[in-house]
Chain A
Amino acid sequence: MYEFVTGPLLWISFLIFFSGTLYRIRRLYSLTEKREVTVTPPGAAAPPAAAVSAEERKLNLVVSFQNSLLGKHPVMAIVSTIFHICLFAAPLLSQAHNLLIYESWGISFISIPDKLCDVLTIIFLACAVFFLVRRLTVPKVIAVSSPYDFLVLFITAAPFLSGFCAYHQWLDYKTVLTAHVITGEIMLVAIPFTKLGHMVFFFFVRILIGGEYSFGSGRRAWKT
């Protein structure tokens, strides 16, 4: 069983993950188009009506902080940022994972001590619990939550939970380890085809598509 899930099944899930992600990116490209700015609006060339004073620059900074996610929803901003950092850092930098990669292909990423990885996992799971509690108690979140949202949260948390159990050798090690690999594979496969697809959507849309809230000056727009 273990040989199967770490062998062919792993390859299949990697294949699905990468091709699915590529497909999603391609989809986003085909649904949007680049809008070239060919004319400079006369107003853009004109200098600002009045020079911005140092005080006003400071005020603009305060206001742009206030408008940011951190200013508007500090708890959500911090928790979700930490959640996503751990989501990537813990599996990619884990010593055990890197050892496996090294054994297979002779390469490895930078790895972090097991203890630190354990801490990241705990933080990640704590954040996941925060999201779960939020989904169960905050009225506005309840209003848009469906069983699907809980499932997606579970799919994301499951590999971490099983990895945590495996590291601490809780329950039957062999079973837990197999469960860890399988849940990880489920998550990989789920990314391109479920709500987890926001991984691709977020970067594509907020960077490349222009809008009031885009990072930088996105030149793309949805095709009409």
Chain B
Amino acid sequence: MNDSQQKKAEAEKTRAVLNHNQAKIKLCLEACASCSICAESCFLFNNNNHDPRFMPSYKVINSLGVLYKKKGRVGTEQLKRMQDLVWRNCVLCTRCYCPLGIDIPDLIALARSLLRTRGVCGVYPHTLGAPEEEYIMEWDPQELSDPDEDPDTQR
């Protein structure tokens, strides 16, 4: 199988997972009032200086949300960012609290499945062996970039 064929096959798999869960994803993403109350229910958010990138809703919106909106057509850079969000910034302890009742862990698990169809998965050194300064991130609100702007989305 050549490169473009493989990409095509991957895209098809991604679309299949997306289509299968489309209605649920749409409902859940639409129910989110972006209230950010889920933040403190995540111990990783609390342990990492309240970095918004650990906030459950942020993780969902910027992984599953983007994959859904772009129908899976996202570039390598963005996939890498999503990989960080759903594997490094989330351990699926399944305890996020959403006042509206959105099942956030379910959506993150779905984002993981979607990323796997693109050959992206959790990498062990992600959480183990990385030097602490890499692991504990400093953050600056300015740095949170717009999920929509990604230089290599043309696929």
Contact = CB atoms under 8 A, between A and B. Distances in A.
B1 interface: no
A139 B52 contact: yes
Of listed A140, A197, A213, residue having the most chain B CB within 10 A = A140
Nearest to B41: A72
A198 B31 contact: yes
B27 A76 contact: no
Interface in B122-155: 141, 144
A80 B36 CA distance: 13
B32 interface: yes
Contacts of B31: 195, 197-198, 201-202, 205
Interface residues of A, number: 36
A195 B32 contact: yes
A69 B99 contact: yes
A206 B100 CA distance: 7
Contact of B141 (A76, A139, A204, A209): A139
A222 interface: yes
B101 A138 contact: no
23 contacts: A24-B27, A31-B24, A72-B37, A72-B40, A72-B41, A73-B40, A76-B37, A141-B35, A143-B36, A144-B52, A149-B34, A195-B31, A195-B34, A198-B32, A198-B100, A201-B30, A201-B31, A205-B31, A205-B101, A205-B102, A209-B103, A213-B97, A222-B24
Query: 6 shortest A-B CB distances, which residue pairs?
Result: A205-B101, A143-B52, A201-B31, A206-B101, A144-B34, A198-B31
